[in-house]
Structure 1
Amino acid sequence: MIRGKVRRSQLVAPFGPGAMQVLADGTSVITCGLDHWFVPGEKLDQEEFRIREWRLESHLGVDALYTPPDYRDHSKSSPGQYNTKLNVPVLRFPSWNFCPRCRALTPQPLNTAQRPRCTNPDCTKQKASWAPFLAQVPFVALCERGHLQDFPWLEWVHKSAHPKCGSDKLKLRTSGGGTLASQRVVCEACHSERGLEGITSVERPDREREQETTYLTARLEEGTEFSCSGAMPWLGLEAGAGTCGQPLRGSLRGASNVYYALVKSSIFIPEASSAGADPRVLEALEEQTIARARANLRDVLEDGEILTPSRLRRAAKKNAFRLENFTDAQIESALAILEGPAEASSQQPATGTDDNPARFRHEEYTTIRDAIDSAELVVKEPEGDRAKDVAELVSRVRLVEKLRETRVLWGFNRIFAESSAQDTATRTALLRRTTPEASESWLPAYTVLGEGIYLELSPQALAKWEAASPVQNRLVPMAQRFQSVAHDRHLTQRAVTPRLVLLHTLAHLLINQLTFECGYSSASLRERLYDSPGTDGMNGLLIYTAAGDSEGTLGGLVRMGKPERFEEVLRNAITNARWCSSDPVCMDSQGQGPDSCNLAACHSCALLPETACEEFNRFLDRGLVAGTLDNPGLGFFSSLE
């Protein structure tokens, strides 16, 4: 039986439905769709895995969010134990294999449970007491719409979409080189032979044709395009099950562009003020047994009925002792916070994942910029005054002592990391084979507890700075390059503004500086940008821990937000930004980094690990933060010494 272990959070990203991974025994598997993650049964209590995040549920248009299940064995001491023997199913993919000894290519079913052995009678090891294990081929084929299939070995070697040779006696031979040109597939029946050089490349058939195609689609058979068939093996739909028609591209199965998880995140903010709601009551109501009783009550309540403390005590039965130290008034106030958002969100129309992200962030922005003390979010104002020169540029700093981030997988891409807004429903549909019934839609998610520092730039100073002509003119090349990329990939157009570039670059510089000041690695910190145009628009950023455990983090990052420490971090970050080890080449660059959408930003000064950045390490420029070599006063923080 093929089995493996993986952290539950990794089943959201990077090993969600449709993603491949290699198990400890070397078997390559693909994670199945959401249809079979929670198999209905007598001892299934799916509510135990429920994550309550009312804003994300409404924004993504789903009824619930659940963490991936964990595996539990039956316990003899607990015969009534729930949620045992749950696992996330996988299928063996690619299904084509080759023998390391005789190099024979053979297909195997997706649901093969054991490692197959070579059955070729001509294999030299067949004469021994055992046959060698088959190894899975290192190549697959995929398209931009998210489909994935086995590499078309038969069609490729015979140079025909419908080969006339009826033999499937193929061999994958190698000359020992490290390139695709050294890999050749051979048909022993008709002696056809063909190398794999070029199968991963893209080409444009002629200058007049704008639409790119792939070498595999255009060259498999001369005069005929061999397109994607819409295969989705993670859903049990093999090649030929559909008609996609997109260009098909060959790829190594372990290439980074085979799977890009599309994750939406949210900082939890309470629907109502925590005033009047004891945090201890909120914690008790979120406890597993009480949360299950609340869920059971919601299923039987009729329209217009509300969940009352007395009903909850009766439904909790033997677990009601968890509520006995609290009055009905305390429980009622806490229920208004926990149950109210779900009801309100169900009445709001689904906005879609890419529909006005600034509006979605604005709710966090208005909450986190002020002090708040709740069960899931604690924000405080630091004590003490900031230096005058810093206060003129940074108008607000907040210490986020506790936060809860929820990350939800709502789809995935292949080949390119981003998709257009028009593809939102299509990407979500890739996660499951059948459309869920009404009120049963859900997505996988997990939560992270952490801490952070929020800062906000002075609106007056920012408005004056971003209106300057030199600032506007510097970003023209960057904006034009992104418009070209967005047009080629059918991405949603967006404005590349000085405010966005300033906030984004400042976040990167601070994260790089904080790794030296408080000991966190850059991969353990994340940025969250709050940006919208206008004097009254958002102009803040949040730097927070992204790798906290169930107990959160230790406060090292929050400590750096206190005035005396924050000023030192900010000054050091600006000082370091004035000179890069790659200067003057870096500072004078007119386009570098991903899609050439950066100016003065490289790996030596401003880039971060991809997990820490919201914008794929694009829209960065140290010149707008600290000034350029030719114009030292160009930067927003040029006056800061």
Structure 2
Amino acid sequence: MSDTKASDDGLIYDSQLDVDPLGDQDELEENNTAKNYAKVGSSRGSTLMYTYGPGSIMDLPHFTVMPMGLDAWDKIWKRRPGTSKIMAPRLLENVQLMLGNQVKELRPFPWQPNQTGAFREGADLGIPARVFPQWLRCTGCNKLAPVSDFVNGYSNRNPYRPDQAEFMHKGCRGSGKGAKKYDRPCVPARYLLVCEDGHVDEFPYDWWAHNGGHCPNASKPQLKMIESSAGVSGSFIECVSCGAKRSMLEAQSLENRSKLPRCRGRFAHLDSFQAKPCDKPVRLMLIGASNLWFPVVQSIIDMPRLDEKAIILDEYNMIKIALGDNDWMLEEDLDDNLKSIRKTVQRSAKTDDELKQKSEVELRLLIIQAQQSEMNEDERQRAREQWEPSDLLVPEWKYLVRDFPDTKHVDRKSGLTVHVQQVHGIVADLGVKRILAVDKLKKVNALIGFTRVDDFDRVNDLGSRLVRLNRDGRPTWVPATEDYGEGIFIQFDEERIEKWENAVLANPLWDSHVMAHRRNFRNRLSETAAEVDPDTRLPKPRYWLMHTLSHALIKRMAMSAGYGIASLSERIYAWQGSEDRPAAAGVLIETTASGSDGTLGGLVDLSNTDKFEQIMTSALQEMKRCSSDPVCARRIPKDPEDFLHGAACHCCCMLSETSCERANRFLDRRFLVPLPGQDASLAFFKD
């Protein structure tokens, strides 16, 4: 029995097929059926945010699964009387800019630790997922069939070993004649069909083996996938029922895309299909392809707001969170509801003391001012079109460079704790204007969607390429994580930075980087970015300077801070000034951990003036040498080369992907220190 429905914007789905693994497990237990536990694996919140979020494909020991969209998550949250929330008003405001004002909350992943040791405590929480792709191949006889053919061989009976969940082909005779029957494991069939609009579908093996037709001998033909040591090109699909056979080599490459079927517009993580036919060409992709899923994550360091308008909106959001489903009281007959609103705000644990102490008159004024400041849909669309990633960084920069009343400053709301360190001697001579020891910080990250085929920075049509996380495309909440840690903030003298930057912009070396970036963009151009001006995506020289210096400091700090290099990360503040933002040149080097109350203090300890002087001078000295010199020192991109770095390599200043915010792009040691060659004068740190 089916219950086919359509969402408001044209997605077609069958509500009877909604994924509810915990509900299925409850039904098994009620019927005293042999248990197959719903849990099939585990993952950290950061991994679910950056690697295996909704719509991705997660590798488990014996098969693969796809985490489902937020509609399925709501069934998990309903197993608790209330839902947890993450308070980060500035990040929530930016999520609303991207997804709409209907987004009310940032929620952590549905998980709780086992604190009492009780059997399966917290097991009724988790991320819903479905087996995907649902075509499996028997490793014994090469049988290729949907998961329904192997469901009798599914086993997940040990609640303490979800990694042992697997599908077996019962009574498999293997591929040889006269072999005995054994239960043999099944593995996912590894081919998918993907289009640039985010659709993903199973590969039609039956259709492919019969050259776009059907088997003449059977309505449900028996298929095999024959693998060989030659890899993809050595795989072929065979129909046992009629003998048809076709190699997967024919599905490879751009030239063979015309042989593939049309995109069906499937959003597998939403159990739905796009009602309007998809006209984008499909491409063959493997389940482990790196361009199958690119998360779109927005992150902030939680800091107090300085703008009065923003403070009012933050307090208004706290009121809406406190009211919950009763937020209608803010719209209808406000004056009649003020007393109830004030009582609810005072009882709520999500509001701060200042808001609780406001009178009814003050609350009324705050609500009216906030409602007048809220964007309508047209204003939100214009703001989204003008949005840049640095918009998230500007409020942080303004706060970190302000004059603090005391040497130590603690913000009660965010927990941010900073120490102002003295700057003098060699450090001041090097152009450093301010050093802050950030004893405690909280970083909040929110997942707002994902893209396929192209990373988000290659996309210029945000509205159509951002794949939704729920069916109607207007979520009321998005998943988020909180990371706690420490860091060091370094600000540089803007006058010296501007003078140096102007000299670099006038130098032929910078023209080489500009042309290389254009070639890089053109060579990796896709249909989704055809109208993007590559020059608008190239950071200015000051970013290259701060980025390269950050890598140099991270490599040196890891030797003294007690952390591995991979656990240190950067946050670069580098842009030219404009009417709505002050110029910035600085870097925050941080280390954070999910769910932690802090870190060990080893990084903050290095912010001491004498220690930092030693760290920085040693880091710059190390940048003068590379084991790949003179090749590295003289590297300048020339046509047809399109790499996005100059004198930089893994031997000197490139870092792991966990540390670098730009995947080791936009690095050049010659912007830091003098290197052999004609461009030695471009170094910011000449002595």
Q: 1:130 to 1:331 in 2, by over 3 A?
A: farther
Task: Quote the Cα distance in structure 2 between the aligned partners of 1:519 and 1:331.
Answer: 50
Task: Name the counterpart of 2:392.
Answer: 360
Alpha-carbon contact 1:54-1:341 (below 8 Å) kept:
no
RMSD (CA atoms): 4.3
The alpha-carbon deviation at position 105 of structure 1 amounts to: 1.0
2:483 matches 1:451: no
The secondary structure found in structure 2 opposite 1:433 is coil
Task: Quote the Cα distance in structure 2 between the aligned partners of 1:470 and 1:135.
Answer: 55
When normalised by structure 1's length, the TM-score is 0.80
Within the candidate set 367, 373, 386, 2:410 is matched to: 373
Task: Quote the Cα distance in structure 2 between the aligned partners of 1:571 and 1:74.
Answer: 48
The alpha-carbon deviation at position 152 of structure 1 amounts to: 3.0
Task: Quote the Cα distance in structure 1 between the aligned partners of 2:422 and 2:466.
Answer: 48
The alpha-carbon deviation at position 475 of structure 1 amounts to: 2.0
2:72 matches 1:36: yes
Alpha-carbon contact 2:482-2:594 (below 8 Å) kept:
no
Alpha-carbon contact 1:471-1:624 (below 8 Å) kept:
no
The secondary structure found in structure 2 opposite 1:6 is coil
Within the candidate set 249, 256, 265, 2:299 is matched to: 265
The secondary structure found in structure 1 opposite 2:449 is strand
2:277 matches 1:243: yes
Give the stretch that moved more between structures: 100-109 or 86-95. Answer: 100-109
Task: Name the counterpart of 1:556.
Answer: 602
After superposition, the C-alpha distances for 1:441-486 in whole angstroms (9 at most, x for unaligned) are 2211111111111112211211221222586321222222323443
Within the candidate set 82, 103, 106, 2:145 is matched to: 106
Task: Name the counterpart of 2:212.
Answer: 161
The alpha-carbon deviation at position 571 of structure 1 amounts to: 0.9
Alpha-carbon contact 1:35-1:432 (below 8 Å) kept:
yes
Task: Quote the Cα distance in structure 2 between the aligned partners of 1:74 and 1:403.
Answer: 26
Task: Name the counterpart of 1:7.
Answer: 44
The alpha-carbon deviation at position 10 of structure 1 amounts to: 2.6
Alpha-carbon contact 2:86-2:480 (below 8 Å) kept:
no
The alpha-carbon deviation at position 41 of structure 1 amounts to: 7.9
After superposition, the C-alpha distances for 1:578-611 in whole angstroms (9 at most, x for unaligned) are 111111111222239x961111111111212222
Task: Name the counterpart of 1:93.
Answer: 132
Alpha-carbon contact 2:171-2:183 (below 8 Å) kept:
no
Within the candidate set 89, 92, 106, 1:53 is matched to: 89
Task: Quote the Cα distance in structure 1 between the aligned partners of 2:93 and 2:654.
Answer: 32
Percent identity for Structure 1 against Structure 2:
26
The alpha-carbon deviation at position 266 of structure 1 amounts to: 0.9
Task: Quote the Cα distance in structure 2 between the aligned partners of 1:416 and 1:98.
Answer: 29
Task: Name the counterpart of 1:461.
Answer: 496
Query: What is the one-letter code of the residue matched to 2:110?
Result: P
Written as runs of structure 1 = structure 2, the 5 A alignment for 1:243-392 is: 243-271=277-305, 295=324, 304=334, 311-312=343-344, 315=347, 329=357, 346-347=374-375, 349-350=379-380, 351-352=383-384, 355-370=387-402, 371=404, 372-375=409-412, 376-378=414-416, 380-388=418-426, 390-392=428-430
2:60 matches 1:20: no
Task: Name the counterpart of 1:542.
Answer: 588
Within the candidate set 127, 133, 143, 2:195 is matched to: 143
Q: 1:75 to 1:555 in 2, by over 3 A?
A: closer
Query: What is the one-letter code of the residue matched to 1:170?
Result: L
The alpha-carbon deviation at position 74 of structure 1 amounts to: 13
The alpha-carbon deviation at position 156 of structure 1 amounts to: 3.2
After superposition, the C-alpha distances for 1:124-181 in whole angstroms (9 at most, x for unaligned) are 79996764343221232323322222223234333x3345656532211133x15223
The alpha-carbon deviation at position 307 of structure 1 amounts to: 8.5
Alpha-carbon contact 1:92-1:111 (below 8 Å) kept:
no
2:237 matches 1:185: yes
The secondary structure found in structure 2 opposite 1:444 is strand
Alpha-carbon contact 2:299-2:392 (below 8 Å) kept:
no
The alpha-carbon deviation at position 431 of structure 1 amounts to: 1.6
Task: Quote the Cα distance in structure 2 between the aligned partners of 1:499 and 1:249.
Answer: 39
Query: What is the one-letter code of the residue matched to 1:181?
Result: S
Q: 1:121 to 1:246 in 2, by over 3 A?
A: same
Written as runs of structure 1 = structure 2, the 5 A alignment for 1:507-522 is: 507-522=550-565
Structure 1 residue runs without a partner (length 5+): 202-213
Task: Quote the Cα distance in structure 1 between the aligned partners of 2:674 and 2:443.
Answer: 34
Task: Quote the Cα distance in structure 1 between the aligned partners of 2:539 and 2:442.
Answer: 30
Task: Name the counterpart of 1:211.
Answer: none
Q: 1:345 to 1:54 in 2, by over 3 A?
A: farther
Query: What is the one-letter code of the residue matched to 2:399?
Result: T
The secondary structure found in structure 2 opposite 1:616 is coil
Task: Quote the Cα distance in structure 2 between the aligned partners of 1:449 and 1:457.
Answer: 26
Task: Quote the Cα distance in structure 1 between the aligned partners of 2:676 and 2:268.
Answer: 54
Task: Name the counterpart of 2:25.
Answer: none
2:169 matches 1:118: yes
Within the candidate set 414, 439, 445, 1:407 is matched to: 445
2:576 matches 1:533: yes
Alpha-carbon contact 1:97-1:136 (below 8 Å) kept:
yes
The alpha-carbon deviation at position 229 of structure 1 amounts to: 2.7
The secondary structure found in structure 2 opposite 1:501 is helix
Task: Quote the Cα distance in structure 2 between the aligned partners of 1:451 and 1:72.
Answer: 25
The alpha-carbon deviation at position 242 of structure 1 amounts to: 6.1
Task: Name the counterpart of 2:629.
Answer: 583
Task: Quote the Cα distance in structure 2 between the aligned partners of 1:381 and 1:631.
Answer: 41
When normalised by structure 2's length, the TM-score is 0.75
Q: 1:523 to 1:112 in 2, by over 3 A?
A: farther
Number of positions where the alignment pairs a residue of Structure 1 with one of Structure 2: 595
The alpha-carbon deviation at position 108 of structure 1 amounts to: 2.7
Task: Quote the Cα distance in structure 2 between the aligned partners of 1:75 and 1:551.
Answer: 21
Alpha-carbon contact 1:472-1:498 (below 8 Å) kept:
no
Task: Name the counterpart of 2:548.
Answer: 505
Structure 2 residue runs without a partner (length 5+): 1-35, 155-165
Alpha-carbon contact 2:628-2:651 (below 8 Å) kept:
yes
Task: Quote the Cα distance in structure 2 between the aligned partners of 1:422 and 1:186.
Answer: 42
Task: Quote the Cα distance in structure 2 between the aligned partners of 1:265 and 1:47.
Answer: 22
The secondary structure found in structure 2 opposite 1:634 is helix
Task: Quote the Cα distance in structure 2 between the aligned partners of 1:627 and 1:216.
Answer: 50
